[in-house]
């Protein structure tokens, strides 16, 4: 079974997808973390300069030796992204990475490289995958597709609180600008832009609690499962 969760930045996709995964016994895959890991590597190796310009050839070279994997800690359930075996979960969430990731995600060869890995992960078992192009490109035949959205104000507040809780020094307006800019680039890039596919169930969580959201999504998945789990182009 493949459940696709797409949508704008900071709509809480990963939070709910993890909870739905735990309830239904699915494997959760955070594809944004994969784009972030490539960005981190590019920053570390000097493939992105101070002005944010990307040396595409250098990134292409870097992909050759890059392995991205996920691990869930058996004790605390913490989800960890591994870059060539190194835990990088906190580092990939930094503002430095957030500022450059949309540019990296707009490169066709980076997308090809990661989409192939995402499809491979999906072939291994039942998954819930979150990102921007899961229902449109990675798994156009996904059994259930969700499209998450919320107002800019709500999304900025969530992201701001998250960064502050991690002890990062950020201003509200800086975070708002970053969220807005990422949405713009993600929706307007040439390769696999963020789109709301017609067969996705739209979830506007501006005024929903996480529990309400998870219950809603679980119900939809179970209903589709009861109906034979085929996405037939309608809700």
Binding residues for ATP are 7-15
* Pattern 45-64, ligand DC, x by CB under 6 A: --------------------
Least gap, CB of 28 to ligand DC (angstroms): 13
186 binds ligand DC (CB under 6 A): yes
- Binding span for ligand DC by CB under 6 A among 32-40, 64-72, 160-168, 215-223: 32-40
Contacts of 92 (CB under 8 A, 6+ apart): 33, 36, 37, 39, 40, 81
Instruction: Using CB under 6 A, pick the residue from 16, 21, 32, 81 that binds ligand DC.
Output: 32
Nearer to ligand DC, 166 or 225 (CB): 166
- Binding residues for ligand DC, total number by CB under 6 A: 13
Q: Where are the alpha helices (DSSP H) in the chain?
A: 13-24, 31-44, 56-64, 95-105, 108-123, 152-165, 172-188, 210-226
Dist CA 96 CA 52 (whole Å): 10
- Binding span for ligand DC by CB under 6 A among 16-24, 51-59, 131-139, 198-206: 131-139
43 binds ligand DC (CB under 6 A): no
Q: What residues between 156 and 185 interact with ligand DC by CB under 6 A?
A: 182
Dist CA 15 CA 28 (whole Å): 10
Strand order, beta sheet including 127-131 = 27-30, 127-131, 2-7, 144-149, 201-204
105 binds ligand DC (CB under 6 A): yes
89 binds ligand DC (CB under 6 A): no
Dist CA 65 CA 57 (whole Å): 14
CB 7 within 8 A of CB 213: no
36 binds ligand DC (CB under 6 A): yes
113 binds ligand DC (CB under 6 A): no
Largest CA distance in the chain: 53
DSSP letter for 60, please.
Answer: H
Where along the sequence are the contacts to ligand DC (CB under 6 A)?
Answer: 9, 31-32, 35-36, 101-102, 105, 131-133, 182, 186
């Amino acid at each position: 079974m493949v459940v696709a969760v797409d949508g704008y930045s900071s709509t809480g996709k990963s939070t709910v997808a993890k909870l739905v995964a735990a309830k239904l016994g699915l494997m959760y895959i955070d594809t944004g973390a994969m784009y972030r890991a490539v960005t981190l590597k590019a920053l570390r190796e000097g493939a992105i300069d101070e002005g944010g310009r990307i040396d595409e050839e250098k990134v292409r070279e870097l992909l050759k030796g890059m392995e991205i994997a996920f691990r869930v800690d058996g004790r605390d359930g913490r989800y960890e992204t591994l870059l060539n075996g190194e835990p990088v979960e906190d580092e990939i969430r930094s503002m430095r990475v957030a500022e450059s990731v949309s540019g990296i995600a707009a490169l066709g060869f980076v997308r090809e490289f990661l989409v192939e890995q995402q499809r491979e992960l999906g072939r291994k078992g039942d998954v819930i995958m979150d990102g921007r192009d899961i229902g449109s490109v990675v798994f156009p035949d996904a059994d259930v597709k969700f499209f998450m959205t919320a107002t800019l104000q709500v999304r900025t507040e969530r992201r701001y609180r998250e960064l502050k809780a991690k002890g990062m020094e950020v201003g509200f307006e800086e975070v708002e600008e970053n969220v807005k800019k990422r949405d713009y680039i993600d929706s307007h890039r040439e390769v696999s832009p963020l789109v709301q596919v017609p067969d996705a169930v739209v979830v506007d969580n501006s005024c929903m609690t996480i529990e309400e959201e998870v219950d809603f999504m679980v119900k939809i998945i179970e209903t589709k499962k009861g109906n034979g789990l085929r996405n037939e182009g309608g809700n």
